[in-house]
Amino acid sequence: MRQKLVAGNWKMNGTASALTELGNLAYSCKSAKSEVLICPPSTLIYRASNVCVDSKVEIGAQDCHSATYGAHTGDLSAEMLHDAGATAVILGHSERRADHAETDKLVRAKATTAIAAGLTAIICVGETLVEREAGRTMDVVRAQLEGSLPDDSSGSKVVVAYEPVWAIGTGKVPTVEQIAEVHSGLRASLVKRFGGETAKAIRLLYGGSVKSSNAKEIFAVAEVDGALVGGASLKAADFAPIVSALDASA
């Protein structure tokens, strides 16, 4: 059985005052059966990890550099993030791919570095609305999966998050049939590349306008092992019900 996971991506939101909300979330999730991860801005990782000591909530990062160290002003290495208290890092999010022109090759390099530093790499894939309407969804996500995952990927090192770009922050959510089609296709691609045992251990998350009102329906879809949540992860009152919905689906 794959451990269920719900990860919250705070994106560029949150200052020290947000740590109170994180404490509320840690309290709300004290009996959670699923793995719970919050990825705040890097400025909060150390303090957030201290807030969540001895709780069910782990702390992750939102990106890392592909190099282990060096003259990269303003960047953070995976080792630095791990040292600050992070246990995982989101890589290849569509906003990074679009805003910073990140390629599959770069995402793969970052994932390799993250894994070497002891972080779980949460690698994002997803199609744009234009690509979906053109019937290219599976071609796009398979290509991103193939190009972004390191050859030594395993269930203990890598998580894959399917986030259709057109559903992120828009309130639009694919039908359960569409989610099932993509997750089934991703699993098949993993099996083809890594073999059944390894592929079946890699968790597949769904992300894109996940909230308490639709979480139960999404988590009932085959091959959905949890969620990568954006805006709804900023408040304990919004995020805790999603965690509960995932627990109930286990």
Average of per-residue pLDDT across 70-83:
98
Q: Is residue 246's pLDDT more than 90? A: yes
pLDDT of residue 75: 98
Q: Is residue 114's pLDDT more than 90? A: yes
DSSP assigned state of 59: E
pLDDT in tens, 165-179: 999 888 888 999 999
Going from the N-terminus, what domains does the chain have, and what CATH number goes with each? 5-249 (3.20.20.70)
E strands in 81-178:
88-91, 120-125, 158-162
What residues contact 81, with CB distance under 8 A and at least 6 apart? 42, 45, 61, 64, 89, 117, 119
pLDDT-derived band at 25, boundaries 50, 70, 90:
very high
Average of per-residue pLDDT across 215-243:
97
pLDDT in tens, 151-165: 999 999 999 999 999
Q: Could you give the residue numbers annotated as active site? A: 93, 163
pLDDT of residue 20: 97
Please give the mean pLDDT across all residues of the chain: 97
Q: Is residue 15's pLDDT more than 90? A: yes
Burial of 2 (0-12, 13-18, 19+ CB in 10 A): middle
- Count how many residues are written for the chain: 250
pLDDT in tens, 118-147: 999 999 999 999 999 999 999 999 999 999
Angle between the 212-219 and 236-249 helix axes, to the nearest 10 degrees?
Answer: 20
In this structure, how many other beta carbons lie within 10 angstroms of the beta carbon of residue 159?
Answer: 26
pTM of the prediction? 0.97
pLDDT of residue 172: 86
pLDDT of residue 169: 85
